Amino acid sequence: MSVGSGATIFGCAGPKLLPEERAFYRDADPFGFIVFARNIEDPAQVRRLTADLREAVGRDAPVLVDQEGGRVQRLRAPHWREWTPPLDTVDGAGSVEAAERIMRLRASVMAAELRDVGIDADCIPTLDVVRPETHPFLMNRCYGRDPVTVARIGRAVADGLMAGGVLPVMKHMPGHGLSHVDTHHDLPTVDVSHEELTAVDFAPFRVLNDLPMAMTAHLVFAALDAERPATQSPEMIRVIREEIGFKGLLMSDDLNMQALAGTLGERAARTIAAGVDIALHCKGDMGEMVEVAAAAGRMGPAALARAEAAVAARRVGAVDVAQVLAELAHG
């Protein structure tokens, strides 16, 4: 089997893989891993870490990162390029066409930098539509204020990543733009009609529903399920699969975010029961990982098939970074 059967993606504690982590990953067999700033020192160290993570599970497991540009950027100077926040870049481009080109080119450079250190999936494009209510934690991470622009820029970003051999993970499905609070700390409730959600927030995801992977949003959409956040709502997963038409591998946003209630095990179990394929746990805490692995269990046949398809979508990247940077410099 080319993918792990565990319905999980895990982080690790620090810049080096610990013996107890290695043993745990071998037994838990997660689909993949995710790295954060705490795991990153310099290129040689990141290459060792990503190789050790894959060696622990005995296969070419995906290694993910949040490399958006701006505030959310795990690989930073002096070893990696710094990027302006996405919305600032789009707003400053002068036209949607120019923004598409710039964002595609910069995503291809990001991809080259990530692949160089063994990271092959990036949690972008961010397809949330900016609204007046959008919380500052998300605002300048987005690509635009209308669904058509967001979809166009999102497609450009996804194309740039894939040209560099990195899988795009679109987020936050089915749309986070109406969140007026930070889901790291609170659970927001969106109180607009199903029709408005379909026309605006769901629309970019529908346009990009052919991408291989997506991440859910921890928001309550009251018009569809007033009791549960999308990540844990069977009705919202139905919307994602049927109305948005996404057939790829669906992972949760981080289970540690306080928008979710209950123990880590309860959060994982509710997520998988709702129809999400993969439970994401980012913290790297061993006790929590053991709890999440037990609760999430193993992927069923349909989820395994989606996981296989996502891994098969990886390409060998061939980006001429110097040429792309020259194109970016000339506008």
The 3-state secondary structure of 141-164, one letter per residue: HCCCCCHHHHHHHHHHHHHHHHHC
Q: Please enumerate in sequence order all residues whose Cβ is within 8 A of that of 93, keeping only pairs 6 or more positions apart, or say none.
A: 99, 102
Respond yes or no on whether the N-terminal peptide bond of residue 172 is cis (omega within 30° of 0): yes
| Rounded-to-integer distance, Cα 157 and Cα 119, Å | 17
The closest alpha carbon to 239, from 252, 248, 230, 249, belongs to 230
Are 9 and 31 contacting, i.e. CB atoms less than 8 angstroms apart?
yes
Q: Quote the CA–CA distance of 133 and 93 in Å, as a whole number.
A: 24
| Two tokens, residue 42 | 């310099």
Residue 21 DSSP one-character state = H
**Active-site residue, from 184, 185, 191, 320:** 184
The CA distance from 305 to 308, in Å, is 5
The token duo for 233 is 């709502």
* Tokens read off for 163: 């040209």
Distance CA 165, CA 315 (A): 5
Task: State whether the Cα torsion 253-132-222-237 is positive or negative.
Answer: negative
Active-site residue 29, yes or no? Answer: no
Active site residue 253: yes
Residue of 66, 253, 254, 277 marked catalytic: 253
Question: Which residues are known to be catalytic?
Answer: 184, 253
